[in-house]
């Protein structure tokens, strides 16, 4: 692989997406303002709850605001992963740029990777705003956080979430609308994956479905790393499960995307939307 060419093309994608985003200044601003509002809202919800839910939150330190803050942060990465690839496909189809990009001498994997980078950069800044507000304004204690463990969990989470997003984009490419993958993971994951409440409050049969979602292990590992200072060895179960998700979903996502591209080229529907 020519790394110089790879980084040059990747940087070009970032600049392109940045210029498009910044041209809609109000929308760009509200991406960050909405995060501030969400943080403040959940702080007051946690204040209202007091210690009434501390029993369920004991494995994570007992504080609801700290618990939900990390839930919102990882959910931002989940939404970004599920939406960025599909949105790139749809925008490329509507603006007529998709085919132009695909016929360039650029590796398909590079195109998939580069088209998502700007959205992940924005999501990272949103998450930083969340965590900084939580720490400086609302007193969330990250003093004993295992940063290395948290970064490992985050990397594996983004890879597994992104693989699901690529499969979702494959549906969009072929069927244009009505993507079941995005709907299932964006709605169900937030409800039973443990974003807003521990999965232990759910009925046992619903908890079984929670364990089929990568978000469940991402949240569990991240909360233990940031709030309870779990070591890498203590996080090994969540890390191992996320690695299994990555090993299974990564080849599946790339195969599905290539297959979708092959179908649309054969049927001449690549630019239809």
Q: Which domain holds residue 155?
A: 3-267
CA proximity to 75, closest of 213, 181, 177, 240? 213
Nearest to 142 by CA among 63, 214, 42: 63
How many domains would you assign to the chain? 1
Smallest CA-to-CA distance from 51 within 36, 64, 39, 66 is with 64
Domain assignment present for residue 96? The answer is yes
In a domain, 223, yes or no: yes
Q: Is 273 within the bounds of a domain?
A: no
Identify whether 164 is part of a domain. yes
Model's pTM, two decimal places? Answer: 0.84
Q: State in Å, rounded, how far the first CA of the chain is from the last one.
A: 33
Answer whether residue 272 is part of any domain.
no
Tens-digit pLDDT profile for the chain (273 aa)? 566 766 777 777 778 777 777 777 777 787 788 888 888 988 888 887 766 666 778 878 778 889 999 999 998 988 888 877 777 766 666 665 655 666 666 666 677 777 778 888 888 999 999 989 988 888 888 878 899 999 999 999 999 998 988 888 888 777 666 567 777 777 788 788 888 888 888 888 888 889 989 999 999 999 999 988 899 999 999 999 999 999 999 999 889 888 887 877 776 655 555
Enter the tokens of residue 145. 């956080």
């Amino acid at each position: 692989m020519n790394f110089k060419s790879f980084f040059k093309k990747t940087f070009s994608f970032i600049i392109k997406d940045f210029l498009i985003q910044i041209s809609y200044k109000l929308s760009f601003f509200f991406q960050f303002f909405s995060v501030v509002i969400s943080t403040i809202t959940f702080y007051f919800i946690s204040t209202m709850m007091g210690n009434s839910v501390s029993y369920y939150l004991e494995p994570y330190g007992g504080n609801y605001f700290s618990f939900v803050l990390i839930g919102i942060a990882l959910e931002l990465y989940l939404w970004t992963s599920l939406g960025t690839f599909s949105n790139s496909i749809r925008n490329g189809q509507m603006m007529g740029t998709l085919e132009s990009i695909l016929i360039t001498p650029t590796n398909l994997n590079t195109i998939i990777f580069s088209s998502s980078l700007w959205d992940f950069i924005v999501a990272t800044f949103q998450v930083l705003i969340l965590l900084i507000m939580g720490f400086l304004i609302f007193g969330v204690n990250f003093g004993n956080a295992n940063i290395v463990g948290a970064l490992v969990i985050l990397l594996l989470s983004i890879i597994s979430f992104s693989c699901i997003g690529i499969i979702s984009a494959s549906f969009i490419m072929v069927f244009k609308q009505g993507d079941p993958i995005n709907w299932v993971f964006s709605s169900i994951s937030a409800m039973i994956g443990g974003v807003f409440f521990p999965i232990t409050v759910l009925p046992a049969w619903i908890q079984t479905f929670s364990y089929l979602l990568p978000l469940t292990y991402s949240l569990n590992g991240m909360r233990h790393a940031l709030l309870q200072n779990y070591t890498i060895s203590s996080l090994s179960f969540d890390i191992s499960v996320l690695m299994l998700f990555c090993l299974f979903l990564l080849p599946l996502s790339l195969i599905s995307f290539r297959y979708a591209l092959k179908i649309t080229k054969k049927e001449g529907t690549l630019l239809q939307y």
